[in-house]
Structure 1
C-alpha cells in the first residue's frame, strides 16, 4: 500500500488521521491533501493518505468499491499506523465521498485503533442513498459513475516510484472491472448492497462520528440519520455546499478544518473542549434565490437543534386536490403521465464532479410538463427541516412504472426553485428487497420520503408539489410510458415544520476560511465547462457536456497531468426506451521522456426488456502514441422490474 505522510514537527508521538482513497495521492488529490494535512500537522496530527489496492501507487488489484479486500486492507492500515513510533496509538479517519464511506464502514467493523470519524458526502445505506439506485429506480449516474471509475482504474502507477509500473499498468488494464454491469445485476436491496451499509446495525459503530454534507450534494440524508440513530456521540451538519470539502466549496467556503480538528482534539487527544455538547444537528436554512446551473452564493441562515429528532418539529398535512394543496381531503382522481424528457432542469446528480454548469435550474419548464399541486400564496413564513413525505393511493396501466416527487418554492414572479425530490419505482411500493410487478387497475398504497431539506418559504411564495412519471437525465426511465392514477382522498403531503420560540446559538462553521497554505501547482491550461441542449433530426432531446479539467504541473514530482470528459444524454419525449448515455474520458501523464495516455468510452442504451452496455479502452505510450492496449466489451442485462 502506498502512502504519503505528513508529520508534526514534534519529537513525541501524536494521534494520526487517515484518509483512504482510490483517487491517487500523487495527482488527483495532491493539492487538496497538501492543504488539509499541513493544517492537521500544525495542529499536532500525523496525516496519512493511502491509495487503495490497485490504485495510484499501491500494489494489488482493485475489485469493487467498499469490497471486503478494501475494508480488510483498511483494518491492516489502521493497525500499521497505530504501531508506528510517530503515532501514539490513536487514529481517526476523515474523508469525503469514498473516504467518508469507508470511514463509517471501518467504524462499523470496530477496528480497535479507530477512535473517531469525520465523514462527509457519505451514506448509511448503499442501495437507498448512493449513486446507483434511489427509491428502487436506476439512476443514470450508475452508468456515468461506472464509466468514470473505469477511467480512473486504468491509470498507471508513477514510474518514479514503481519500477514495475508498466507490467502493473497492463495488468490493471486487463483486469479493470466492468462495474456498471456488476451493479446492474443487483437491482434490489440484496446482500451485495447491505455489505457496507451501516444502517444494518447502528449499534456496531462505537467511534464518535461527525457527519457533514451540503444541500447542493446528493448525500443529504446521512448526517441526520446518523445523529438520530447512533448510540455514541454524533454531530450532524448540513450546509450550503456541493460535493466538496466545505473549505473548498464554490458556493459558501467555510472553515471545515477547524471543525474537524475540534472533533479529533476531543476524541483522539481527550481534550475537554465541549465538542460533545455541540448541537446534535446544525443546518443552513436556505431561502429562495435565482437558481441557475452555474455556481453562485446561497441565501439563508444557520440554525441549530440541540436534540435530533427535534422537539420543535411538527407534522403538517396538506391534502392533494384537483385545485392544489389543501387543509382538507378531497375526492376524485388525477392521472399523471409525463413525457420522457421531464427533468431537463434537474442538474447533475452529484455536483462537484464536473467543472461547472451542474446545478438545478428554474424548475418552471419541468413543472409545466408535470402534474402540480400548489398551495395558496403563503400568509406566513413556513420553515422546513427534515424529510417531507408523500403518501398516496394509486393504480397504473403498466406492470412497471415510476413516479418522481419534487417539492418547489415558487416566487411571486413564477421562478420555481427545487427544495427536494425523490423518485419511487412503483414496483417497490412495499419493499426494496422483494418488488413485484404491478397489476394494471389494482389499487395500491405507497410512500415517498423525499430527501432531507432545510428551507424557509417567504410570505407570498407558493409551495408546489410536482409529480411526474419520469425525471431524465437523473433517473433512467421505466420501459414504457405509463399512466399513474392517484386517488385523492388517500393522498397527502406531510411536511416537517420547524417552529422555535428562541433559537440557540448555531455555532456554524466560520463562513470565511482562514488563509491556508497551498501547494502551488502550476496551471498550464485552465479548466472549462460547457453544456449544450438541443433537439436532433429525430426529435431526440439531447444534452451534450464537455469538461476540461485543465493541465497542470506538480512541483514536487514534475509530472504534467491533463484530463477531460464528454458526456451525451438523449431521449425521445414519446419513447422512454430510447434513453441513451455516452461518455468519453481522456487522461494523459508526462514527465521528461515518460508519457502515457488513456482513452475510455462507455455507452448504455435499452429497449423494454434489456439494458445494453458497451465500453472501449485504449492506452498509448510515448509522444508517438504507441498503442499498448486496446479492447472492447459488450454486455446485455435483463431489466427485470427497472
Structure 2
C-alpha cells in the first residue's frame, strides 16, 4: 500500500460537556472526509507542544501515512488545555477520556473505531479508560504501565515507600506549573496560567495519606476486574524499567485478550529505546490497529501471548547501549516450572529442595542505611547510571549466599520467589532481596529484586504489626526477569534491611535475625519456547532533531562524609534548551535532586527536588521554579513545596505548600 498524504492540525479545540476545552494536535490522513479512517488517541499531561512533540513526531506521521489519524490531547489543566488538573488518573480525567473517544468517533473523518495508546501515564489511562467501556474504543497499546496501582507504580511496593513518590510529585509540580503557549491560546494564556498555578495540587500529600492498598489505589487498577476488561490489549515493557511486571500480570489476568512483549529497554517507546536491540514499534502498532480498527484479517489475534528478550549475562557498565541475549516466544503463557535452591549446611546456595536442619542457622542482619546506592532509578530514561550498577557495593551491606559456578547455562522467565523464617526486632521492618549474576571476574549484575514491608506479609490492605522477638515465615515474590546465567557464572542471593535511596527507611533501624536454614529460592525456568526474530526499526535515528540553543547534562554522584556518617545521593538532569524548527517554541527542564541520610538514624532521611522549567519564543518567555521536600519524624511525614513563576524576569506568582501527614507505622 502506498503511503497516504496527511496534514498536521497544530491545535484543535475539543469542547467537553462541562464547557472545558481540551487542546489536541491531530495528524490527519488526506481525504479522510470522503474515506473515513480509524483514529488513535494519546492523552497526557505533558504538553503536546514542547513536551512530547519529539516522540509524537516520530510516530504519528507514520500512522497517518498508513491511513490512521493520530489525536494527541493535553489533559485538563496541562499544555494548552483549559482548567486545572485534579490528580493522577482521577475519575474526572477518565470521564474526560471517555468523552474524547466519543468525540473522535463522531467526527465525519472517523470510521467510528478508536484505539488508545501511550507509555507511562498514557499507558495507564488507556487501560483505565478501556475498563469504563466507551463503545467506540476497540483496542489499546499500553507501554510501561501497570494493572495494579499500589504495587507496580511509582508510589509503594509491597508496603515499602518508594523515594520516587517525592521525585514524581516534584516532576508533576514542575510540569503542571508550565505556561500555555500564547501562539496557540492567544491573549487568554496568562489567565489560564495563573489559574493552574493557583489551583494545581501537590500530589505527594494525597499519596502519603494512603499508605495501604485502599479504595484510592483500587481505583484505576484493572486487576480489580480483569474479567470485565472489554478490548484487546498489546502490553509492552522493558526489563530495565520499573514496570517490568505488567506484561506477565496482564496475560495472566486478561488471558487471550492480552499480548505481551518485554524487551531490554528503559522507559521509552521500543523504536528508539535503549539498550538495544530495539523493536519495530510502528510495524507492530499499525498491524494491531488495522486488525482491531479496520477488521483487517492480518493475524494479529494469533500473535504469541508472550514475546520476551532473554538477557544473556550482561555486564554492569557505565552505559549499556546493547544487551546480549535472544528473543523467544511462548504461544500460550503458562505458570513456569520452578527450579529450587536452598542454603546448605555450609552456607552455599544449592540446587534442590532443602534438607531439614537439626538446628536453626540464625544470622543477625542490620544493613548500613545507605545500602542501595547501586540500585539505579525506579523508572529509567537512559541506559547509564539510571540503571542498576555493579552490585558489589550493595552486596557489602547485605547477607549473601551463592551457588557454585554453573556447569551449564540456565535461562529463566517469570517471577522468582523467596521463602524464609526471620525474627524482627521492631514493630516494623523492611526486607530487600536481590538476585545477582556473578561473572567469573567478580563483576555483579542485578538480575531482579523484591522488597517487602514485613507488616504487609499477608496483604497490603490490612497490614499486621510485627511482634519483636516472635519469628515469622514470609514469602516474597520478586519482580519479573528474563535472564540467562551463563556457564562459569554464579547465582547470588543478597538480603538487606535497607535499599536507599530507592526505598525509604522504616522509623526504627533494629535489624532482623534470619534463619538461613529456612531460606528457599524458586527460579522460574524458561521452559518450552521458540526462538524468534523481532524486526528492528528501519530508521536507526527515528526522532526528529531540534535546534540546540544550550546543551544538556547529566550528573549522578554519591558523597559520603566519613566524619559525620552522612551520605548524600545527588542527581542533576538538564535537558538543555532546544527550539522546535517549525513552531519556534523553545523549552528546557532542569531537575536537581538530593537525598541524604546519616548512619544509625533512619529519621535523618531527607529528600529535596527542584525543577526549573523554561518555555520561550522570540519576544516572550515564561519560567517556573518549584522545590519539593520530604522529611520525617517517627510518627509523621513532613512535606513542603513552593512554586514561583516568572514572566520574563518579573515574578508574577508564588505559592507554598506545607503539611504534616500521619505516618503509618506498618
TM over 0.5, shorter chain = yes
Who is 1:533 aligned against? 558
Who is 1:298 aligned against? 323
Cα deviations across residues 408-437 of structure 1 (Å, max 9, x unaligned)? 110111111000011100011112000122
Who is 2:211 aligned against? 187
Contact 1:283–1:302 (CA<8 Å) still a contact in 2? yes
CA shift at 1:511, angstroms? Answer: 2.8
> Aligned runs of 1:89-488 on 2, under 5 Å?
89-162=112-185, 163-252=187-276, 253-309=278-334, 313-321=336-344, 323-326=347-350, 327=352, 328-329=354-355, 330=357, 331-332=359-360, 333-352=362-381, 356-488=384-516
Please tell me the root mean square deviation across aligned C-alpha atoms, in Å.
1.6
Cα deviations across residues 163-185 of structure 1 (Å, max 9, x unaligned)? 21111111111111111111000
Q: Distance in 2 between matches of 1:291 and 1:229?
A: 34
Which among 621, 628, 631 is matched to residue 595 of structure 1? Answer: 621
Q: Distance in 1 between matches of 2:290 and 2:387?
A: 36
Q: Distance in 1 between matches of 2:275 and 2:541?
A: 18
Contact 1:386–1:454 (CA<8 Å) still a contact in 2? yes
Cα deviations across residues 517-576 of structure 1 (Å, max 9, x unaligned)? 754421212221012211235321111121110111112321121121111011123222
Q: Distance in 2 between matches of 1:212 and 1:527?
A: 29
Residues 1:491 and 2:512 are matched in the alignment: no
Which among 107, 117, 128 is matched to residue 84 of structure 1? Answer: 107
CA shift at 1:504, angstroms? Answer: 2.4
C-alpha spacing 1:516/1:85, structure 2 compared with 1 (3 Å): farther
Aligned residue for 1:433, secondary structure, equals coil
Q: Distance in 2 between matches of 1:615 and 1:71?
A: 27
Aligned residue for 1:130, secondary structure, equals coil
Contact 2:455–2:463 (CA<8 Å) still a contact in 1? yes
Contact 1:205–1:232 (CA<8 Å) still a contact in 2? no
Q: Distance in 2 between matches of 1:514 and 1:269?
A: 26
Q: Distance in 2 between matches of 1:76 and 1:164?
A: 24
Contact 1:388–1:450 (CA<8 Å) still a contact in 2? yes
Which among 581, 585, 596 is matched to residue 607 of structure 2? Answer: 581
Q: Distance in 2 between matches of 1:520 and 1:637?
A: 45
C-alpha spacing 1:555/1:419, structure 2 compared with 1 (3 Å): same
Cα deviations across residues 123-144 of structure 1 (Å, max 9, x unaligned)? 0000010000001100000011
C-alpha spacing 1:294/1:605, structure 2 compared with 1 (3 Å): farther
CA shift at 1:88, angstroms? Answer: 0.1
Aligned residue for 1:2, secondary structure, equals strand
CA shift at 1:451, angstroms? Answer: 0.4
> Aligned runs of 1:45-84 on 2, under 5 Å?
45-84=68-107
Which among 644, 652, 659 is matched to residue 618 of structure 1? Answer: 644
Q: Distance in 2 between matches of 1:104 and 1:24?
A: 21
Q: Distance in 2 between matches of 1:389 and 1:460?
A: 24
C-alpha spacing 1:172/1:356, structure 2 compared with 1 (3 Å): farther
Contact 1:293–1:347 (CA<8 Å) still a contact in 2? no
C-alpha spacing 1:505/1:85, structure 2 compared with 1 (3 Å): farther
C-alpha spacing 1:454/1:205, structure 2 compared with 1 (3 Å): same
Which region of structure 1 is more displaced relative to structure 2, 88-97 or 220-229?
A: 220-229
Q: Distance in 1 between matches of 2:383 and 2:75?
A: 25
CA shift at 1:603, angstroms? Answer: 1.4
Q: Distance in 1 between matches of 2:71 and 2:314?
A: 40
Aligned residue for 1:383, secondary structure, equals strand
Aligned residue for 2:660, secondary structure, equals strand
Cα deviations across residues 574-630 of structure 1 (Å, max 9, x unaligned)? 2222111111100111122221110001111123222111111111112xx111111
C-alpha spacing 1:343/1:515, structure 2 compared with 1 (3 Å): closer
Cα deviations across residues 437-490 of structure 1 (Å, max 9, x unaligned)? 211111222211000100000111111110000100100011111221223444
Contact 1:293–1:360 (CA<8 Å) still a contact in 2? no
Contact 1:236–1:280 (CA<8 Å) still a contact in 2? yes
Contact 1:427–1:641 (CA<8 Å) still a contact in 2? no
C-alpha spacing 1:187/1:81, structure 2 compared with 1 (3 Å): same
Which among 28, 51, 65 is matched to residue 51 of structure 2? Answer: 28
Aligned residue for 1:456, secondary structure, equals strand
Which region of structure 1 is more displaced relative to structure 2, 326-335 or 376-385?
A: 326-335
Who is 2:13 aligned against? none
Cα deviations across residues 300-359 of structure 1 (Å, max 9, x unaligned)? 11111111125xx3111212346122233344222221110110111111101x695311
C-alpha spacing 1:185/1:513, structure 2 compared with 1 (3 Å): farther
Contact 1:292–1:359 (CA<8 Å) still a contact in 2? no
TM-score, reference length from structure 1: 0.96
Who is 1:604 aligned against? 630
Q: Distance in 1 between matches of 2:106 and 2:317?
A: 50
Equivalent residue pairs, number: 634
C-alpha spacing 1:496/1:378, structure 2 compared with 1 (3 Å): same
CA shift at 1:249, angstroms? Answer: 1.0
Who is 2:11 aligned against? none
Aligned residue for 2:469, secondary structure, equals coil
Cα deviations across residues 339-392 of structure 1 (Å, max 9, x unaligned)? 10110111111101x695311111011111100111111122111100000112
Q: Distance in 1 between matches of 2:261 and 2:390?
A: 26
Cα deviations across residues 83-121 of structure 1 (Å, max 9, x unaligned)? 001110010011000000011111111111110110000
Residues 1:550 and 2:576 are matched in the alignment: yes
Which region of structure 1 is more displaced relative to structure 2, 24-33 or 253-262?
A: 253-262
Q: Distance in 1 between matches of 2:448 and 2:146?
A: 17
Contact 2:272–2:541 (CA<8 Å) still a contact in 1? no
